[in-house]
Structure 1
Amino acid sequence: MRIGTSFVKNILSHNSTWIAIRNPWLIRSCSAKVSHDHDRTEKFETVFSFPFVRHIATLNRMKFYHIIGTSLAIPGCGLLETLSVLPEYSFLAAAYIGVTGAILFSMASLPLNNTIGFLYISEDNKLIKISSVDFWGRRRDRIVSADEWIPLLDMKQKTMDAIYLSPQLTDGTKYKLFIKFGKVLNSTKMGQVIE
């Protein structure tokens, strides 16, 4: 029984070495998972939530689905128009509606890019976890040091501050923080770290 299990272990170790050599992506994804699990050991407290971030993510995702639908509808209408199934100029109408809709969706979602949905701060106030929505409606979690966050009081005032604040990181990444419409869950901790 021991001979069989050692034989299987040798084959598995040989195969995993071969897989690791053939698939460097596997090594990167496994190492990324380890570092992600390391980040999970740090305890974070939710200090801010923006309940309408789901609607912003839906709007941004609709743009993606519209572009996919347009990329299928335009050639389909062109083919059906060529086969005389659809009336003349169906291809141009589909192209006009598809491109115009994609431009409108993009323009509507561009000001909502990098909207912060949740802010988390570590127990020792040294790390900030930012959960935001990107241009395509995907959630992006980023953990940064509190030193990388430029305090809001150090930034110059803008005309849009009445609607949303524009926090910025030292690497130039800009976010939108709808503090007026969100829920501040721990104002003292939030004030100590981000203001």
Structure 2
Amino acid sequence: MAVLLRALPRFQGPAVWGRPLHRLWYCTGQGDSRRWVGSTSPTSQEKPPGTETEKFHTIYRFNAIRVLGYVSRLKLAQTAMTVIALPPGFYSYSQGLLTLNSLCLMSGIACFALAMLCWMSYFFRRLVGILYVNESGTMLRVAHLTFWGWRQDTYYAVSDMIPLTESKDQAQEVFVRIQQYSGKQTFYLTLRYGRILDKERFSQVFGTLTTLK
């Protein structure tokens, strides 16, 4: 996965910026009064009341997340095509048009594709794309991917977040876990390949790391 993260920035040329996934992660306008581009807004989960009008500041961004969303949807389509090909394969085998070895190969490829889809979906859905903090510093908004490769926003109370200074993970590692005291969900942050845009607010949420000083 670290090799993939190193390779992704090389493919983020001008053509990538205009693709449909771009509109899910970038906004128009200035400051925090920006609006989402496109007709469809990102889905939200457990959205607290009053957050519609509250200003949020971006404190972290991982630009390669939009490419990973595109990869996730391609993998989903590839897996669907592989699985759909199995019934015709079984029919061809029953008619003597396909050998047993070929049928086993098709089944193996389909099982491998499903296993890879489950693994990729599990990881991509927990990889943080953007982090926001509201004006008062009490609410954290986490932008990540859904199973279908689209953006989803999840909200957490800052007081429920476990500081990275209390985590066993090291900031120098490729992925660092961000967790809640309530243990609701674990996300993965990459400080090596992502960018901290507001160190002060980031430190207020996750603690002051030596790599940020």
Any residues of structure 2 matched to 1:44-193 within 5 Å, and which? 44-84=56-96, 86-89=97-100, 90-107=102-119, 110-134=122-146, 136-157=148-169, 161-172=172-183, 173-193=185-205
Higher helix proportion, which one?
A: 1
Query: Structure 1 pair 108/145, CA: closer, same or farther in 2 (3 Å)?
Result: closer
Cα distance between partner residues in 2 of 1:82 and 1:63 = 29
Cα distance between partner residues in 1 of 2:117 and 2:196 = 30
Say if 2:126 and 2:144, in contact at 8 Å, map to a contact too: yes
Once the two structures are superposed, residues 11-66 of structure 1 have per-residue CA deviations (whole angstroms, 9 ceiling, x without a partner) of xxxxxxxxxxxxxxxxxxxxx9xx67842211101111001112332343344223
What residue identity is the alignment partner of 1:88? T
Cα distance between partner residues in 2 of 1:165 and 1:142 = 18
Percent identity among equivalent residues?
22
Partner SS, residue 116 of structure 1: coil
Say if 2:62 and 2:128, in contact at 8 Å, map to a contact too: yes
User: How many pairs does the alignment contain?
Assistant: 161
Cα distance between partner residues in 2 of 1:75 and 1:97 = 14
Structure 1 length-normalised TM: 0.70
Deviation, 1:112, is 4.4
Q: Please, which runs of 5 or more residues in structure 2 have no aligned partner?
A: 1-43, 208-213
Q: Which residue of 2 aligns with 1:19?
A: none
Say if 1:63 and 1:102, in contact at 8 Å, map to a contact too: no
Cα distance between partner residues in 1 of 2:169 and 2:106 = 45
Structure 2 length-normalised TM: 0.64
Greater Cα radius of gyration, structure 1 or 2:
1
Cα distance between partner residues in 2 of 1:170 and 1:141 = 19
Cα distance between partner residues in 2 of 1:62 and 1:103 = 15
More divergent stretch after superposition (105-114 vs 53-62): 105-114
Deviation, 1:177, is 0.5
Once the two structures are superposed, residues 122-172 of structure 1 have per-residue CA deviations (whole angstroms, 9 ceiling, x without a partner) of 0111111011224553433111111111111122345x8521211101221
Cα distance between partner residues in 2 of 1:103 and 1:46 = 35
Query: Structure 1 pair 108/127, CA: closer, same or farther in 2 (3 Å)?
Result: closer
Say if 1:50 and 1:183, in contact at 8 Å, map to a contact too: yes
Q: Which residue of 1 aligns with 2:40?
A: none
Say if 1:114 and 1:133, in contact at 8 Å, map to a contact too: yes
Deviation, 1:71, is 2.5
Partner SS, residue 153 of structure 1: helix
Deviation, 1:120, is 0.4
